[in-house]
Chain A
Amino acid sequence: MWILRINMSDLSYKLEELPEKYKLLYGRALTSQMVFDEVPPLCHALGLNNKLVFSAGVVTGTAAPTSARVSVGGKSPLTGGIKEANAGTAWGPDLAKMHIRALVVEGLPEKKDVYWGAKVKWDDTAGKPVVEFFDATEHIGKDVYKIYPQIFEKFGEKVSIASMGTAGELGYGNSGIVFNDMAKRPSRYAGRGGLGAVLASKRLKFIILDAKGAPGIDMVDKSLFDEGRKKLIDAIRSHPISQPKGGLNSYGTAVLVNILNEAGGLPTRNFSAGRFEGAAKTSGEAIFETNKERMGKEIYNHACSPGCIIQCSNTYYNEDQTEATSCIEYESTWALGANLGVDNLDDIATMVQLCNAYGLDTIETGGTLGVAMEGGLLEFGDSKGAIQMIHEMGKGTAVGRTLGGGTEVTGKIYGVKRVPAVKGQGMPAYEPRAVKGIGITYATTTMGADHTAGYTICPEILGVSGKLDPLSPEGKAALSRAFQATTAFIDSCGHCLFIAFPILDIATGFEGMIQECNGVLGTNWNADDIVAYGAETLKVERKFNEAAGIGKEADRIPEFMKIEPLPPHNQVFDISDEALDSVYKDL
């Protein structure tokens, strides 16, 4: 097992044996630990001393269901703190199969106008991965949908590709790292926190993996792994949310639009209301029914990555039956829909496609445009104007570069008081005043406002793992803490977070996930151990942030949410600072 270091200062690489202390660290646990160990917290995120660390999860590359995740870590140019973003893509399994526990991109080249590609392939004779560099400058400034086919043509259909778009090249805090999906689309983003700009700062345009001939994943106890795998598969296939033709497979994640709207927690027109009159037109049901009408048949969703049995990724089709985009996630249809007062699904699809093409994070883009609309750049509901602004961002015009700085930067420039961001990162699609627990997660996670860090929506809105009152502050700090710790483990084990729907409700599924990990690692973990594992990761991230100047004072929700009641429930965010601080104090 190796750490592969790619040094962009002198275009070299080296393979290091994995140190003993990292033996049980994978995915987010490893990216965060290595960033803590190797990146000076006060360094510039786009400078010489920042590093990008890629790591797949414990079971990534095995036959475990829905487990092709890869984590990317570094210091975020958006938040100034630690960042882990992950994506589902064949790139993760390919990395793991070559026994590369972590791929680290470090250094900084002196020449700024030359970009490089690194192809990592398995060398059968040497029994290890090797790296070849190539000049990639010709691919700069271009739509990633135009570039990817050329790279696949040059390097073969079986490779997987990590890259960034022009948003990264322009150094935006809003820029993701993109990976290919199963149909070779550049659409699977480790989107949040500006890691695309970090990759671009190193002048590394592509990391191409060719795992042909690679040995695959070693396991200590295959029969235990298989037993766990079977339990998890059964849980996923029997839970109504994750089963074939269930909620996710039929309607995708955008099925959440209507329920958040009914619950009064769908942030609308830059977080000025909790309900949007046009919500239904932007929902998963609308995507499904529009596709059915346009294509003449029901179309169910597809897998974003190998081995996924949930298959929640949709494709949205134009009237002429050509593909408009894939995929429209809940967060994207909200950010570019309700949040902007836009109910035109075709225009939302166009915006999603453009964000992917330019390398922008859809959540940060929607948050930014919402603030800009409030600041008077455009009228709410002006979807054509929003499309134009995304073009400006991608092309790097003056206004585009302003917006590329993200939600908080744009709020400052336009003099807007209502800026929905924490630690510099724009809020996702759940209103903290209407769903208190998720507000605690936004406030306290090390990542900046991030729903995935501790998804209390499960019990607060969806009735998964019980049902809690979303408007009540009672017990929500403990709830968020528990979700944040468990999530940090799931982000490290390699499974997609969506396995949480079945494993929270079906005990054998939860057991199965742990058995899979024990089978691979030879550990004897139980449920408490995995929560402790996740908690350790959170502590490491917290220590990095504190050393970067981001302490508990940054664990706060923006003031307007504490003083402006949100319709329809007319609630403010009423969680005390003491309760917020208890999330980490009692970890």
Chain B
Amino acid sequence: MLIVCGHRILYAVRDDMIVKVKLFATLRKYLPGVELGKSSDIELESGSSIAQLYDVLGIPAEEIKLAYVNGIFCEMDTELKDGDEIGIFPPIGGGSL
């Protein structure tokens, strides 16, 4: 993380952040033992994207359909912030059409 003041870089540190992750349906196996509907705290390098979160969780990209971050659909290159709540889903459907 860079702390800047005007054009001057005051200091640069590498720090981590915690995001809260929920996996659903067929993805639940990637965080085994977690109670359904409960989130898991995942530590990531600051500035990590959703795609990098998938890497950390070890989920192959082709198994994932979409992610909602704090209730909003986000693309894979979206940068995450400390404390974000992320729900990750495989392709699912129902209801009706």
Contacts and interface: CB of A to CB of B under 8 A. Distances in A.
Interface of A: 239-242, 246-248, 250-256, 258-259, 262-264, 275, 279-281, 283-286, 289, 312, 329-331, 428-430, 451-452, 455, 457-458, 462-464, 467, 469-471, 483, 487, 490, 497-498, 500-501, 568-569
Contact of A256 (B65, B91, B95, B97): B95
A258 B24 contact: yes
Contacts of B90: 240, 247
Contacts of A430: 95
A429 B71 contact: no
Contacts of A329: 94
Contacts, number: 121
Interface in B19-73: 22, 24-26, 28, 36-38, 65-66, 68, 71-73
Interface of B: 22, 24-26, 28, 36-38, 65-66, 68, 71-73, 87, 89-97
A259 B92 contact: yes
Contacts of A281: 36-37
Nearest to B65: A463
B39 to A, nearest CB: 11
Nearest to B28: A285
Majority SS of interface residues in chain A? helix
A280 B23 CA distance: 11
Given A285-B25, A455-B95, A569-B71, A259 B36 contact: no
Majority SS of interface residues in chain B? loop
A471 B70 CA distance: 14
Given A240-B65, A464-B91, A568-B71, 18 more contacts: A248-B94, A256-B94, A256-B95, A258-B37, A258-B89, A263-B73, A275-B71, A329-B94, A429-B95, A452-B97, A455-B97, A458-B93, A462-B65, A463-B66, A490-B97, A497-B96, A497-B97, A501-B97
A568 B97 CA distance: 26
Contacts of B38: 280
A569 B72 CA distance: 9
Given A251-B25, A285-B24, A330 B97 contact: no
A57 to B, nearest CB: 15
Given A255-B92, A259-B87, A463-B66, A469 B97 contact: no
A490 B97 CA distance: 9
A240 to B, nearest CB: 4
B71 A255 contact: no
Across the A-B interface, give the 5 residue pairs with the lowest CB-CB distance, nearest first.
Answer: A280-B37, A253-B94, A262-B87, A500-B97, A240-B91
A247 B96 contact: no
A253 B65 CA distance: 17
Contact of A262 (B68, B91, B94): B68
B34 to A, nearest CB: 11
B32 to A, nearest CB: 12
Contacts of A457: 95
A329 B37 CA distance: 19
Contacts of A501: 93, 97
B94 A252 contact: yes
A330 B94 contact: yes
A213 B89 CA distance: 48
Contacts of A458: 93, 97
B60 to A, nearest CB: 13
Most buried by B among A259, A330, A452: A259
A495 to B, nearest CB: 10
Contacts of B73: 263, 463, 467, 469-470
A312 to B, nearest CB: 7
Nearest to A239: B91
10 contacts: A240-B91, A251-B25, A255-B94, A258-B87, A262-B68, A262-B71, A275-B71, A430-B95, A487-B97, A498-B96
A251 B24 CA distance: 11
B95 A253 contact: yes
Contact of B37 (A240, A250, A264, A279): A279
A339 B85 CA distance: 23
Nearest to A245: B26
A278 B38 CA distance: 10
Contacts of A497: 96-97
Most buried by A among B37, B87, B90: B37
A331 to B, nearest CB: 7
